[in-house]
C-alpha cells in the first residue's frame, strides 16, 4: 500500500470525517480532492487532523452564512462536530 493510500484510508475510517459521517469530506470529496487536503501529512494521525481542520473550516463558513438565530442548523452541525472531535480524539 502506498503512503497516499494509507493516509486516505486512515481518513476514510475516521468516525468524525470518514465514511458514514455525513461530513463534507465523506459526502463530497473523492480521493484526489482528499489528497489535496492531506497530501502534506507525514502520519495517519496528521492526515486525520488535517481532514478535521478542513471540515471545521467548512462548518465555520456555513456558520458565517447562517440567518443568525440561536437554533440555526449550522450551529447544531458545528456543535455536533466539536462534540464528536472531543469524544473521538485522534490517536497518535
In a domain, 25, yes or no: yes
In a domain, 62, yes or no: yes
In a domain, 71, yes or no: yes
In a domain, 92, yes or no: no
In a domain, 39, yes or no: yes
- Label residue 57 by pLDDT band (50, 70, 90): very high
User: What is the value of pTM for the model shown?
Assistant: 0.91
In a domain, 35, yes or no: yes
Range of the domain at 42: 3-87
CA 89 to chain centre: 13
Give per-residue pLDDT as tens, 13-31. Answer: 999 999 999 999 999 999 9
The CA distance from 71 to 79, in Å, is 11
Domain count of the chain?
1
Helices (H), the chain: 3-12, 24-28, 31-38, 44-64, 73-87
The CA distance from 88 to 33, in Å, is 24
Amino acid at each position: 500500500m502506498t503512503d497516499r493510500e494509507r493516509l486516505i484510508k486512515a481518513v476514510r475510517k475516521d468516525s468524525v470525517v470518514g465514511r458514514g459521517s455525513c461530513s463534507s469530506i465523506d459526502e463530497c470529496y473523492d480521493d484526489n480532492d482528499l489528497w489535496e487536503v492531506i497530501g502534506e501529512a507525514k502520519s495517519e494521525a496528521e492526515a486525520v487532523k488535517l481532514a478535521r481542520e478542513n471540515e471545521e473550516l467548512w462548518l465555520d463558513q456555513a456558520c458565517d452564512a447562517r440567518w443568525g438565530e440561536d437554533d440555526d442548523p449550522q450551529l447544531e452541525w458545528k456543535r455536533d462536530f466539536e462534540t464528536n472531535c472531543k469524544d473521538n480524539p485522534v490517536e497518535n
